[in-house]
Structure formats: structure tokens, C-alpha cells
Structure 1
Amino acid sequence: MESQPPIPADEALVQTALADPQRLAAVFSTGLLDTPPEESFDRLTRLAAKLTGAPVTFVSLVDANRDFYKSTFGMGEPLSTARELNGRTFCHYALVSGGALILEDATQLPVFQDVPTVASLGIRAYAGIPLKTEEGEVLGSFCAVDFKPKQWSERDIEILVELAHSALREIRLRQALQKAEALNQQLLEQVKRVDELNRELGELATTDALTGLNNRRAFDHGLQLEMAIVERRNTPLSLLMLDVDHFKRINDQFGHDAGDKVLIAIAQMLNGCARVVDVVARVGGEEFAVILPNTDADGALEVAERMRTTVAQAKWLANPATISIGVATLQIKESASRLYSRADAALYDAKAKGRNRVVMG
């Protein structure tokens, strides 16, 4: 293809293009710098060499201080291994050429004959197609070189232009995949956060805000669940109803903050006396309940007495606090509401008999 020799850009223009932050951001956003070879790009450089007859072809991404070769064909060592070149290169002039940079014999052209690879690698002919994004940023070049003068045909240039477009499509595809992966990761993180929020909401819906125990809703659900287990396995089940004695007096004498601290401490003690399988709940202002799975009347009385003693032996401000406990063990064909009523009645019986005691219902 006969053409006028290109006029090289001046050094200042080349340096400005190399250092342009928008262009460098576009290069970085490809995600290709310092990545290993990929067949999708290597296929293009092999095809370029086969169709143009050029001994060396490559895809060059031009960073601020180096050319990084995403794909190479025909390069000798050590360049093919290092896959990067420092110093002035033909690709730098392609950045600002405004189109294909076609050199038939660099040794005969001012400025181009001083490009270091002319002497170090023996490059004579160069054809570089700028890899220009839709936003107008030049990422680098799709290049072919020869070590002897070469008259590039129109067909050679058309081939290189088409393969350069293919390289850009590969870059855009990779960016789309990266963006999709990032969005997918964001989605996974959002789903995880939603799960965490749902779990937190679930805990709030079943947890007493003051004591951290199960609340009335969780207690009712737990009792129905244990009733179903009893029906299937015919195991014993007991229920404790507990109330803090003279709690109003504690509030009146020491204040509601002190009363809250008493409830929190009692909750901790009840939990400490219970097993992992037991359900300890705050079901009213100063009222607690404990579901004791697989526990008969004797076992329930033992747990209740341990809880009562633990609380009674603790020191509360100027006065001790105590609890009264009603105990009920499930009878044959008894409903959950009936079991609850018997335990509650036993609790009131305990309070009527002087408080700080356990009564079996």
C-alpha cells in the first residue's frame, strides 16, 4: 500500500498522552495489566501473523511507564517471557496518531529511526492499530512488526483493523464479566445482610429486650413445640411459673433502674440453673416461666428449688429479693393451656402461703 510516510508526533504530545489520567484509568479498568496470556487474545495475534505474513504480532496495553503485552506471537526471549517493554516504543506514537500508524521502513524515517527497538531488536516495519474505546481513550495497539522493510497491503491493514476491533470486543466482554461478577458479589453481600437483618428481627421478635430471655411469644411457641414432642414420644414435661416477690416495693424504694437490674440478674441466674434444652422466658413484668422438657415432677421440683435458693442467697442492695415458684407436670391428655393454668395457680398459692417457696400444682 503506497502512502506518505507519517509525521511523528512531537515528544510533548506523546508524553501528555502517556500521563493522561483518564486514559490510564481506562487502561487500568480493563483488568488486563499483569495478567497471564489468554487464548482469546492469543488466537487473534496468531491469526494476524498468518494472514499478514508478519513474523511478530502483539496486543500492547500502554501504561504510564511501560508497554504491557497481553498477547504476543513470534517474540523472542526474554521479551516474550517478560511481556513488557520500557522506554520509547512505536506504540507510544500510535497513541496520538489518530488512526493506523503504518511504517514500511523505520530506519528511513526521522524520529522513528531513533526508537530503541530499531537498534535493539532490529525492527524495520511496523503497523499499529490504536485500541480506542467508545469513550475515545486509547488503551494501546494491535501491532504487527517485521525485521525487514515491508510494504503493508490494504488487505494487511484491513485485517489488523478487524482484529483490533476483535481485541476490543474481548476487552469489553472481560469488563462486562468483571462488572457482572462485582454486581453478583454485591448482591450476595446484600442477600447476606438481609439474612442477618431477618435473623436479628427474628431474635427481636422472640427475645425480651430487657433480660435477653425468650419473650412471651417464644414461650408460647416453645410450649406448643414441646407438647407435640410429648405426643410423639410420650416423654414427661414440666412447667415452672416464677414471680419476683414484692417487686413493686423494690421499684418504689430503689427506683425503676434498680428494679430492671434485679430482673436482669434474676434472668441470668435462672438461665444458669437451666439446661440448654430448657426454655427460660420472661412472660410478664416480673413474671418468668421455664419449660422443662423430659422432666418429671421430682426433677421439676429439684430445678425449682435450686432456682429459688440461688436467688434468695444473692444480695440485692439493702434488702434481699426472692422468688415464688409454681410447678406443674403434664398429665395424660392435658392441654398446654391447662398445664399453664395449673402452674400459674400453684404460683399464686406459693405467694399466698408467704412467698419465697415452691408449690406443686
Structure 2
Amino acid sequence: MESKPPIPADEALIQTALADPQRLAALFDTGLLDTPPEEGFDRLTRLAARLTGAPVAFVSLVDADRDFYKSIFDVSGALSSTRELKGRTFCHHALVSKEALILEDVTQLPVFCDVPAAASLGVRAYAGIPLKTEAGEVLGSFCAIDFKPKQWSEQDIEVLVELAHSAMREIRLRKALHQAEALNVQLLAQIKRVDELNRALGELATTDALTGLNNRRSFDHSLQLELAIVERRNTPLSLLMLDVDHFKRINDNFGHEAGDKVLVAIAQMLNGCARVVDVVARVGGEEFAVILPNTDADGAMDVAERMRTAVAQANWLAHPATISIGVATLQMKESASRLYSRADAALYAAKAAGRNRVVMG
């Protein structure tokens, strides 16, 4: 291919292109810098060498201070381990070239003959096709070199141009994959956050906000589950209904904040008297309930008395309080509502009898 020798690029023009922030951002966005060789690119450089007869072909990504070789095919093997090159290179001239940069004998061309690769690597012929994005940013070049003068044919240039287009398709694909991975990481983080929010909502749906105990909804669900267990295993089940005595006086005399503190403290004492399998719940303003699985009437009375005593003897309460407790033990074929009603009736009997006491229903 006979053509006029190309005019070397101005040094200032090359420096401006190397440092161009938009170009560097486009290069970084490919996600290819400092990545290992990939067959998709290696296939193209092998094909370039085979079709043009050049001993070396490579994909060069031009960073601000180095050329990074994403792929390099070298028949001799002398350059196969080279992954980057610093200093002025022929690819820098291709960077600012609007079209293919074709050099048939660099030793005969001013400026090009002074490129370090001409002496250090023995490069005599170079053909480089700019790798240009759709936005016009040049990422580097698809190149072929020879260690002796070479007259590049029109077919050689056409092959390199087509393979450069293929290299850009690979680059766009890798960029899309890189972005997809980043989006996938974000998606997984969002899914994790949604799971955390769902768990938090689940806790809000089953937990009393003030005391941290189970709420009425959770209590009803737990009572139904325990009844199902009783039906399968024929084990005893008891229920305690508890109410804070004269709670309205505490609110009226000391304020609702003081009342809330009393409820929180009593909730902690009830939990402290319960087993892990027991279900302690706040089912009303100052009303609590305790489900006692595998517990008969005598056992339920013992737990109830222990809870009543713990509250009555708590000298650390800012405003002393007592509780009344109604106890009911499940009878044969009894429903949850019937068990609840009997325990609730026993509670009111305890309050009517003078409060601060336990009554079996």
C-alpha cells in the first residue's frame, strides 16, 4: 500500500489527549485496565497476525502514563509476557490520529524513529487503528508490528480495521458485564435491605412498642399454636391474666411517662419470672397475659404467685405498684376464647377481692 508518510503528532497534542479526563473516564469505565488476558481479545490478535503476516499484534489501552496491553500475540514469544509499556509509544501517535496510523519503516521517519520501542524492541513497521467509542473517545489502538520494514497492503489495513471494530464490540460487552455486576451488587444490597425492613415490620407487627413484649396479635397467634400442640400431645396448658392495680392513679398523680416506666419495669419482672417457652404479652393498656405451655394448675399458681410477689416487693420502682392475677388451666376440648374468658373472670375476681392477689378460675 503506497501512501505518503504520516506527519508526526505534535507533542502538546499527545499530552493533552493522554490527560483528557473524559477520555480517561471512558477508559476506566471499560473495567479492563489491569485485567488478565481473555480469549475474546486473544482470538482477535491471533487472527490479525495470521491474516497480515505480522509477527506481533496487540490491543493497547492507553492510560495517562502507560500503555496497558489487554491482549498481545507474539510469534517469537519475546513480547508475550509484556502487559504494559511506559514512555512515548507509537500508540500515542495513533491516539490523536483521525484514521489508521501506518508506518512502513519507522527508522526512516523523523520523530517516529525516536520512539523508544524502535530501539529497545526493534520495531520497524507499525499499523495502528484507533479504538474509538461511540462518543468519540479514543481508548487506545488495535495494532500490528513487524521487526523489519513492511509494506502494509490495503487488505492488511482492512483486516485490522475490521478486527478493531470487533475489539470495540468486545470492550462494549465487557463494559456492559462490568456494569451488570455492579448493578447486581446494588440489587443484592437492596434485597438485603428489604429483608431487613420486612423483618423489622414483622417485629413491629408482633411486638409491643413500649415494653418489647409480644403484642395482642402475637399472643392470639401463640395461644392457637399452643392449643394445637395440646391436641396432638395431650399436655397441660395454663393461662395467666394480669392487671396493674390502680394504674390510673399513677398516671393521674405522676403523669403518663411515669406510668409507662412502671409498665416497662413490670414487663421486665414478668419476663424474668417466665421460662423461655412461656409467652409473655401485653394485651391491653395495663393488662398482661402469660401463656404457660406444659403447665398444670398447681404450676400455674406457683408462677403467678412468684410474679405477684416480684412486683409487690420491687423496691426499685419509682412508683410502687402491685398486680392482680387470674389463672385458668385448659379443660378438655376448651376453646381459646373460653380459656381466655375464664382467666379474665378470675382476674376480675382477684381485683374485687382486694387486689394484689392470685385467683384460680
Would the TM-score normalized by the shorter structure come out above 0.5?
A: yes
Deviation per residue, 1:325-348 (Å, 9 max, x gap)? 111010001111110011001111
Amino acid of the structure 2 residue aligned with 1:179: Q
3-state DSSP of counterpart to 1:99: coil
3-state DSSP of counterpart to 2:32: coil
C-alpha distance in 2 between matches for 1:262 and 1:124: 91
Report runs of 4+ in structure 1 exceeding 4 Å deviation. Answer: 75-79, 316-319
- Residue 15 of structure 1 is matched in structure 2 by 15
Amino acid of the structure 1 residue aligned with 2:209: A
C-alpha distance in 1 between matches for 2:235 and 2:171: 67
Residue 185 of structure 1 deviates from its aligned partner by: 2.1
Deviation per residue, 1:156-209 (Å, 9 max, x gap)? 111111111111111111111112222222222222222221221121121111
C-alpha contact 1:90 1:112 (8 A) present in aligned 2: yes
C-alpha distance in 1 between matches for 2:252 and 2:29: 68
Residue 316 of structure 1 deviates from its aligned partner by: 5.4
1:273-292 aligned within 5 A: 273-292=273-292
| Worse overlay, 319-328 or 150-159 | 319-328
Residue 81 of structure 1 deviates from its aligned partner by: 2.6
3-state DSSP of counterpart to 1:189: helix
> What TM-score results when the alignment is normalised by the length of structure 1?
0.97
C-alpha distance in 2 between matches for 1:265 and 1:78: 80
1:243-262 aligned within 5 A: 243-262=243-262
Give percent identity, aligned residues only.
86
C-alpha distance in 2 between matches for 1:337 and 1:37: 72
Amino acid of the structure 2 residue aligned with 1:48: A
C-alpha distance in 1 between matches for 2:213 and 2:263: 11
- Residue 141 of structure 2 is matched in structure 1 by 141
1:69-108 aligned within 5 A: 69-74=69-74, 79-108=79-108
Deviation per residue, 1:281-334 (Å, 9 max, x gap)? 111110000111111112211111111111111125565211111110100011
- Residue 229 of structure 2 is matched in structure 1 by 229
| Worse overlay, 151-160 or 248-257 | 248-257
| Worse overlay, 92-101 or 181-190 | 181-190
3-state DSSP of counterpart to 1:80: coil
1:58-73 aligned within 5 A: 58-73=58-73
C-alpha distance in 1 between matches for 2:80 and 2:246: 88
C-alpha contact 1:59 1:143 (8 A) present in aligned 2: yes
Q: Which segments of 5 or more consecutive residues in structure 2 lack a partner in the other structure?
A: none
C-alpha contact 1:244 1:322 (8 A) present in aligned 2: yes
C-alpha contact 1:315 1:321 (8 A) present in aligned 2: no
C-alpha contact 1:262 1:316 (8 A) present in aligned 2: no
> What TM-score results when the alignment is normalised by the length of structure 2?
0.97
C-alpha contact 2:262 2:319 (8 A) present in aligned 1: no
Q: Which segments of 5 or more consecutive residues in structure 1 lack a partner in the other structure?
A: none
- Residue 336 of structure 1 is matched in structure 2 by 336
3-state DSSP of counterpart to 1:81: coil
- Residue 321 of structure 1 is matched in structure 2 by 321
Amino acid of the structure 2 residue aligned with 1:178: H
C-alpha distance in 2 between matches for 1:302 and 1:272: 14
C-alpha distance in 1 between matches for 2:78 and 2:225: 73
Residue 46 of structure 1 deviates from its aligned partner by: 0.8
| Worse overlay, 310-319 or 151-160 | 310-319
* CA RMSD between the two structures: 1.4
Deviation per residue, 1:7-58 (Å, 9 max, x gap)? 1110000000000000001111111111111111111111111111101111
1:149-298 aligned within 5 A: 149-298=149-298
